[in-house]
Amino acid sequence: MTLTALIVTYNRLDKLKLCITASLEAGFDNIVVVNNASTDATREWLDSLIIPALHVVHAKENTGGAGGFQHGAAYIKQRVECDWVALYDDDAYPDREIINIFKSRCSSTYSAFSCRVVDKEGNDCKMNKPFVKLPNSLKDNINYILKPEKFIPNNLMQSECVTLSFVGTIIKKDVLVNSFEYIHSELFIYYDDVYFSHHLNQAGHKFIYDPELIFTHDVSIQGKSINPAWKTYYLIRNLMLSRSFFSYGHPFSYFSIFLRMLKALALLPAQEKKSLYFYYLFKGFRDGCLGITGCRHNGKNQ
């Protein structure tokens, strides 16, 4: 059994160095790094490395995590022989024993494994936690507010899930390379993994959450504060765009979208730059209504 790491990076060279070191220590057979047109010294550093397992793909433009993972999957389809592919960003670090544990727990029943993702303090990263059921109906959303633990897996055992995160997913290569068109690169970042996994669900694929498979995520969004504020734009816009990607079985009902919008608005007092946060929230709502996609924030930083 062979495993490939697929890492997307943009202008975070210090974190990328830690990420590649951790990936080598974990023992991946191949490491594919998609450099999303970084403007720092990332390209030069990657080109200076002499590592047999390393494959470097330099993108011509920054298409965000969504475009980077799509680009990397296309590269793996053509250039890399393996059985499984682990997807994660440059600020995520696989546990040293993750491959050994995966090989002992792997099952052909599942098309993908969702790993436990923790922050540097060892707390679960909520943004990377999969759902065992998406709260869609009115009843589900009320229950999710009152008892969220019914909709997300616990850390005591393996649990089947219905969504995946692009930080900490190990997926069969053939499933990834035959479905990467479902990674909507026009989203740039956020919800691309949810919609990709929902497409796979509709095609009959099964996923499982395994808390013994661990990634550490040096995350910038944890709790109520969203920093930098421009990330709010993609959280709102891409949520609203969800209805356009599915002809049936939408991942979010109109009521679910409305509640998530209210939650984003309720987080305004917790933000460091309240006026900028509100600007991106409003802009995301407007562009979502208009169906505008792609990279839309100033500076085009991932």
Q: pLDDT, tens digit, for every residue of 244-273?
A: 999 999 999 999 999 999 999 999 999 999
Angle, CA 131 vertex, CA 129 and CA 135 arms, to 5°: 130
Q: pLDDT, tens digit, for every residue of 152-197?
A: 999 999 999 999 999 999 999 999 999 999 999 999 999 999 999 9
Integer-rounded Cα radius of gyration of the chain:
18
**Residue 299 banded pLDDT, cuts 50, 70, 90:** low
Q: pLDDT, tens digit, for every residue of 114-131?
A: 999 999 999 999 999 999
Task: Name the 3-class secondary structure at 35.
Answer: strand
Residue 290: partners with Cβ closer than 8 Å, 6 or more residues away: none
What is the reported pTM? 0.94
Task: Characterize the bridge pairing of strands 3-9 and 84-89.
Answer: parallel
Would you say residue 222 has pLDDT above 70? Answer: no
Instruction: Specify the pLDDT at position 226.
Output: 86
Q: Which two tokens stand for residue 77?
A: 């389809």
- Average pLDDT over the chain reads 94
Task: Characterize the bridge pairing of strands 30-35 and 3-9.
Answer: parallel
**Residue 301 banded pLDDT, cuts 50, 70, 90:** very low
Q: What percent of the chain has pLDDT over 90?
A: 89
Task: Name the 3-class secondary structure at 85.
Answer: strand
Average pLDDT estimate for 200-228: 90
CA–CA distance, 250 with 195 (Å, rounded to integer): 9
The secondary element (H helix, E strand) that includes residue 93 is strand 92-94
CA–CA distance, 49 with 58 (Å, rounded to integer): 14
Instruction: Specify the pLDDT at position 221.
Output: 61
Q: pLDDT, tens digit, for every residue of 32-61?
A: 999 999 999 999 999 999 999 999 999 999
Task: Characterize the bridge pairing of strands 221-222 and 225-226.
Answer: antiparallel
**Residue 103 banded pLDDT, cuts 50, 70, 90:** very high
Q: pLDDT, tens digit, for every residue of 76-98?
A: 999 999 999 999 999 999 999 99
Instruction: Specify the pLDDT at position 297.
Output: 86
